[in-house]
Structure 1
Amino acid sequence: PPDQPSNPNPSDGETNVSIHPILSWSCSDPDGDPLTYDIYFGTSSDPPLVESNHVGRSYEPGDLEYDTTYYWRIVAKDSKGAESIGPVWSFTTVEEISGNLELLGSYDVDTYAPGQIYSPPVLSEGYVHIGGPRGIYRFEGSYVQKITPDSSEVRAGPMVNDGRIYAGNSNGELIYHYHGYTTKNSITSLAFLSSPIFVDGYLYMIDHAGNLFKFDQHGNYISNPFSTDYGNVNSALASQNGVIYIATTGGTVYAFDTTTEVILWNYPTGDNFNGGFAIDSSGNIYIAGNRLWSFTQNGVKRWDYNLGSKSIVNPVIADGKVIVGTEEGNLLCISTSGSLLWNVDLNGPILSSAIIGEGGVVYVVAGTTLYALNMNGGSIIDQLDVGTYVESHPLLHDGKLLFGGNDGKLYVVEVMSDSPNGDWPMFQRDAFRSGVR
């Protein structure tokens, strides 16, 4: 007879399963005979037969109910009439999350010189700040003010630390703003496309060519302690325990020790990185290109996963799950151990990072549509057409999602979550990118 069916997916007793699952199992025949399967499935602990002589080791039961326990059994049959009855397995689907996305307003960032907004919004002293075509802008409700002297475009997000605001622009200048006082210092001839970062009281910035610069908290230049060997740098820096992580378009990941000012390790992946890092509560590092990569903080590769198309955004992490979007419009949820949990096609390029709110709601813009999805299973809760592509990473604050649009506006959307959740759900949670709220 055939071997007994085993290795169910979803696993026996699993919870928070999608309401659109694909059931699968393992089974073989010692004699190599072809197998067919009878599938029993339902909400009874003695599930009824739903399909006979099924070919293949996967089955789609269709749309299921939320927060419901389902039972299933597989009976394997060979061509000689022998059969093997599998055990009854069960799983429970996710709870339903309800809510609405509502556009509260969209506001021009710069009416004098309008242009696409790449910068994520950040908060400082209760006000929203965002980089734009001519510098840094502050919103007081719907009123907007450019708070820095005219400069070239600020594409990366400003860094906020103790009331001080720092940003690099496309002319290689460092902009420093504190209580109405602003300086603008020329640092390099190359653009800053990555946000500044604070480590142990010092500010670090990296230019497009991979030159890392060190400053004091007042924006005074100290040194250029490191330059990458190959590839440009578009990715946001990240740090933990005094170590800065850098990724290049040439696919190399570096770990730079700010105390000794030496490279602790580097890993050439052969990939192409344009998005930033995520770090989980165990200190493991994640970054996405054509594949999602995971490393220990000591530089040992844990795993990599083929995303199917290129990602240019930051992964985000919560509850042992990594969420990352691709340019082809797929939003993937991968466990921190490297297995795919779900993959949803959102029918539009994902050009900015997702963010995870309280209650396990994932917010992401694909094409011109903002989606709210259930992190457990990937089902779509609500969607809202914002009318523009979005390359600005979102900010979640006080029940509102804020992001810049390619049409030059700041968008404010009422959402279902009051605050972000997880190990590293925000592009810029604090000045140190530590993930601490």
Structure 2
Amino acid sequence: MKVQVRSGDSLWYYSQLFMIPLNLLIDSNPNINPAALQVGQNVNIPGFDLQSYTIQKGDTLWRLATSRNLSVDALLLLNQEINPNKLQVGQRIFLPRRVITRIVNERQEYDFETLTEDIRELSEIYPFIKVNTIGESVLGKPIQEIRLGKGTKKIHMNASFHANEWITTPVLMTLLNTFLLSLTNASSVRGITTMPLYNSVDLSIVPMVNPDGVNLVLNGPPPEVREQVLKINNGSTDFKGWKANIRGVDLNNQYPAQWEVEKERTPAKAPAPRDFPGDAPLTEPEAIAMAELARNNNFDRVLAFHTQGEEFYWGYEGLEPAISSRLAQEFQRVSGYRSVRYIDSYAGYKDWIIKEFRKAGFTLELGKGINPLPLSQFNEIYEEVLGIFLVSMLI
């Protein structure tokens, strides 16, 4: 929600008027000098949106404000042209609406277009988040990173490396949405006050690493590559088993962490719906974008959301740092997932993070069953990983 500055206004006053933390107001307006607001400037107020309202018989600004737990001046700020003493039936005014529920709808198949719309809405309601494009998919879809927090502890989370594991994207987006709601409503999550986390963490989220693949699984092949993907899929129009990117390369087998071993032993020797690691490491634009993101940021820990198995992997050839063991113990405690230090698998993003940077890396296998997991599992998965999401920032 935007408001227009009046004479004498300040960000501190707006924080009191709307009961929003001052630091979130400052972070929502990076191009404004908080010590020198200019009359007529537009200021973002996070955690609110605008509603159009038609004045009814008996309405007063006091009554309308009181029903929303706001002061009359909050309404006057949004309706500077009206005379508060001469409201007329049928007159249209704007009312601020505090956002108290999630906008991410986990009850739907979650393709790239759905993600894009949710990111747009979250950016409008919570303008203290920043959205960056870190690269493009094979078909030119932007690979988007959401960034928030003011701390020095750098944490990265990602989802949908694998196409038919697309449920990981709404899970991660819902975790983010819960976190944002708690910040603007001064509410806790599982008893944890989240503002200290915001102040201590620099959080990076890439909710859909493989947008072409996700759309292929959910919507079928786009016309420009229909012939190619049908050939890779052995002529079948059923893409539920497809894990790879649109070129038939498994993005989580693309990293230079014993890639040669994985290449040698995989039965997939050409583009395939799953497991083909490519002809060399880091050939695919999606994998390259994720590698560059890590190189440019030197994250302290990385969590990659996959499905399925209700377990997580956190070791690579003894190179993982000491903090990984402590995090693994806490992840297991809060989620009930099985902690697995080593698994006979190479060339994954987690493997490369540990090998290249000696930082904590985790592959989280959410839920249980056959991919793609059904949406009926969403609530259970969300509750299981909410603790992991919080603990990853706490420790």
TM range (shorter): under 0.3
Greater helix share, structure number = 2
TM score, norm. by length of structure 2: 0.23
Instruction: Between the two structures, name the one with larger relative contact order (CA 8 Å, sep ≥ 6).
Output: 2
